[in-house]
Every structure is written in C-alpha cells, then in structure tokens.
Structure 1
Amino acid sequence: QISVTVAGLAGSEPVKCSRGVVVCPDSSLKDAVDNAPFDVIVLPGGLGGARNLAASSEVGLLLQEQEKAGRLVAAICAAPTALLAHNVGIGKSLTSYPIFKEKLQEKYFYKEDNVVVDDNLVTSRGPATAFDFALAIADILLGAGTSKPVAKALLKV
C-alpha cells in the first residue's frame, strides 16, 4: 500500500552505509525530485549519511518545501541533525541517537521516547527503534492501527 523511492545523494549507484550495509538507490535525488511531492520524506540514520544530508542544499530545499506544505518529514538516529542544519521543524518535539541530545535541544524540545511524533515531524532514536519508527509512519500515512498486521508479522505485538 505504500510506494517507496530510495534516492541517492550522489546518483543511483550503490551506497555502502556506516555498518557495511549496501543500499541500491532506485534513482538519484535529482531524478526523484522530479516526482515530488512525496507523502513523506524519510532521512535514514548513520553519522556519515546524516552529515551528507546536512551538507546537501538540494536536501535542504526539499525538506523545507515538504515542511511548508505540511507534509510528513521523518528522521532517525543521527538524521535529525540534518533537520537542524536545514532549519526544519524548529521548536517541535523530537528525539535522536542519544549523543545528539545536547546539540538538538538548543532548537527543539528533546524527548527520550523511542519514537516522537509532533504534527508533521516523526523522529526516532536508532537501529533498535527502526521498526517502531516505520510502523508509526505507516499508521500516519494509512490510518491509525493500519500497521497492526505488519507489526504482528514482525512479532512486535
């Protein structure tokens, strides 16, 4: 029920993540932007990736447009620091990987919950909370409780 496009910052070539996982983007970010708007933009975690997202003016513009239109923005682990870099969601409640708390609490209401939803902003802490993060996004997109069959299949319920 949810269509996902994985976009690569530097094109559509495979990307090796911080823990050695290889992700194969469906398209470049530049090409994906041609299909905007999106119901949700999700920023993945990982320190290196978050730094790259924070440094990308293209990501910044996309996030700012998404926020301005009231559409969903989501970030997990280190990725909320990219939101800060692009002034997205300022003043809202969020969470992140714990080492970023001090940096983020200057402009956000920091919470230590596994998943924090504040209006159109969804954030989560890290790898162990990724399923809860994904299920929360699904419930927002498809309606409360919609993710229950998926959660059950994942043994989360």
Structure 2
Amino acid sequence: MKKVLLLLANGYEVLEASVFIDVIGWNYIDGDKTTKLYTCGVTKEVNTTFDQKTTVDYTIDEVDFEDYDALAIPGGFAEYDFYSDGYSEKFLNVIREFDKRRKIIASICVAALTIGRSGVLRGRNATTYNRKERIRQRELAEYGVKVMDQPIVIDDNIITSYNPSTAFDVAFTLLELLTSKENTDDVKRLMGFIE
C-alpha cells in the first residue's frame, strides 16, 4: 500500500486538499487499490480557509516519515493564518524529511512557498500562485528558486503548481507517479475527466 500524508496548515484551502483526498480515495476504492491518504497538522484541529474546522488523523509529532511514500500540501490564505503553521519549523521539517528521503512532494498554489522556505527548492525549478502582480512568484524566487511561469512544474521529486485551477492535475500527477499512467487514466475515466 502506498501511503500519502496530506499536510495541512491552518488556513489551508479546502478545494486544494479535497482533490488529493478524492483522487487517492477513488484509487483506493475503484482504481488499483494501492493508495491510502492520511491527514496531518501541527495541531490536532486545523482551521480551513473560510474558518471551517478539521480534525486530522495525526499531529506532526505522531508521524513516522518512513511510513509514507508521498507528501501532499494544499495552499491557503494569509488572511486565515496559513503561513503561521506553513512557515513553522515543525511544518518545514516534514518537507525536509520527505525530500531527504527522495519521496514525492506534491503541492498546489502557495504551498510551494512552504517548500521554498524549507530550503529544498534552492537552485531548482518550481512555480506558485501567478495572479495579483505575481507577488507570490517573486517571494518564491527569494528562496533561490528558478520560478517558471507554467501551470505545473516537476523538478525531480517535487511537484508545484500555480493556482487552484491546477489542483486536479497535480493530484492525478501524484497518482500516476505512485501507480501508473494506465491506472491513473482508469481513475480519470471513472471520475468523468476523460472518456
């Protein structure tokens, strides 16, 4: 069983988290049945963007990184305090540990900023939120990242994307890396994304 750890910061965007839950879940039920997702946060209860509450499966302190094959990180809103958790040493250390083990790290939108801040993207290609005068892309570049203005960027084991519209594509890319293109296409068909 391939295990995905969904790392949630306070103020995470529900849409961006839900695509990982759905795609990995559909594969578990109707795909090749080889993937399962678990949620994790700095604290046991995590607020979403727009202030809904989520109880995660584990806190960071309870997780053994060796048990997981991939890390998924949704972005979030500064207005809902995303960067307090996202830039905390506990959160950044999870990213460092997954990268050190060369495990897949899949992120959507501004979650790339947490990866950039962790230091693992220095000198590598990535992207992040590309609207509002590209402020977030300039921030990502400050971490020594080669910012690409394209929807999804894959650099070795790290997937980044530039806004919520890319969310399903990132989740399907993660599934393909964990399983196969054929299996991912089967899941896409079942979910109605392709005929």
Q: TM-score, with normalisation over the residues of structure 1?
A: 0.85
**Matched positions, count:** 154
1:18 to 45, 49, 57: 49
What is residue 120 of structure 2 aligned with on the other side?
88
The answer (yes or no) to whether the contact 1:67–1:88 under 8 Å persists in 2 is yes
- List aligned pairs for 1:4-153, cutoff 5 A: 4-11=37-44, 13=45, 15-31=46-62, 33-34=63-64, 36-48=66-78, 50-98=82-130, 99=134, 100-106=136-142, 107-153=144-190
Q: Distance in 2 between matches of 1:89 and 1:146?
A: 30
- What amino acid does structure 2 have at the position aligned with 1:84? G
- What amino acid does structure 2 have at the position aligned with 1:41? L
What is the percent sequence identity of the aligned residues? Answer: 24
SS at match of 1:122: strand
SS at match of 2:37: coil
What are the ranges of 5 or more consecutive residues in structure 2 without an aligned counterpart?
1-33
Greater share of helix: 2
What is residue 28 of structure 2 aligned with on the other side?
none
The answer (yes or no) to whether the contact 1:6–1:25 under 8 Å persists in 2 is yes
RMSD: 2.0
Q: TM-score, with normalisation over the residues of structure 2?
A: 0.70
Higher RCO (CA 8 Å, separation ≥ 6 residues):
2
What are the ranges of 5 or more consecutive residues in structure 1 without an aligned counterpart?
none
